[in-house]
Amino acid sequence: MLGPPGAGKGTQAKLLQDLFGAVQISTGDILRKAMADQTPLGKQAAGFINSGALVPDNVIVDLVAERLKQSDCAHGFLLDGFPRTIPQAESLDAMLKQLGQNLNRVLWVQVPESVLIERLAGRRTCRQCGALAHVTFSPPRTAGVCDRCGGELYQRDDDREETIARRLQVYEKQTAPLVEYYRARGLLRSIDGVGEIEQIRDRVIDALGDLAQ
């Protein structure tokens, strides 16, 4: 899943995981868990994440390489938030080659910047299970409480207004070049990411075509 922060990559990836059983690998979720658990990885990543910068490529590549070796990835996985730079994409190619796997499709979710800002500023994340809610567009049944697991909903530091602008700039500079990288390989499908969650899910399923069986 490729797209700017707030495009709905995580929301759609979680739906696809439930529908098709391909495991969602969200580097953002893995890093946030590491930060909450105060592991060495979490401590190393915190400064980058909270300021809206990217975590260094070598750290992320090692993390994903370990994750892809786990047995639940043998029958398919969905990368959400990785790769985010050209060097990460090149490392992914090498990793997949080693594992004898292929990247089948790249879903590029497009959303105008004004909508991204609105979505990110109102987004709330569950501390416990990572589920997402939005104060206006999908409010939880009880304010501050996750509908799915009862955990605490909080505002990510990097979803605060001053950091959002930085993340959008970082996306344009470092991640957007991946669009051409994957277009040139014939893997790219672009998806209109504006609308209801279910509408967008149906567009994603269409774009997956034969993969969504």
Instruction: List contacts with ligand AMP (CB under 6 A).
Output: 5, 27-28, 31, 48-49, 53-55, 60, 81-84, 88, 158, 167
**141 counts as catalytic:** no
Q: How far is the CB of 109 from ligand AMP (least distance, A)?
A: 12
Could you give the CA distance from residue 173 to residue 181 in angstroms, rounded to a whole number?
14
Task: Respond yes or no: is residue 97 known to be catalytic.
Answer: no
CA angle 79, 23, 118 (to 5 degrees): 55
Residue 152 is classified by DSSP as: B
84 is catalytic: yes
Beta carbon of residue 124, minimum distance to ligand AMP (angstroms, whole number): 13
The alpha-helical segments, DSSP class H, found in the chain are 9-20, 27-36, 40-51, 57-68, 86-99, 113-122, 161-170, 177-184, 197-208
Q: Which is nearer to ligand AMP, 5 or 193 (CB)?
A: 5
User: Which of 67, 148, 156, 183 is an active site residue?
Assistant: 156
- Cα→Cα distances 156→11, 24, 29, Å: 16, 20, 11
Q: Which is nearer to ligand AMP, 119 or 167 (CB)?
A: 167
> Is 156 one of the annotated active-site residues of the chain?
yes
Positions annotated as catalytic residues are 9, 84, 123, 156, 167
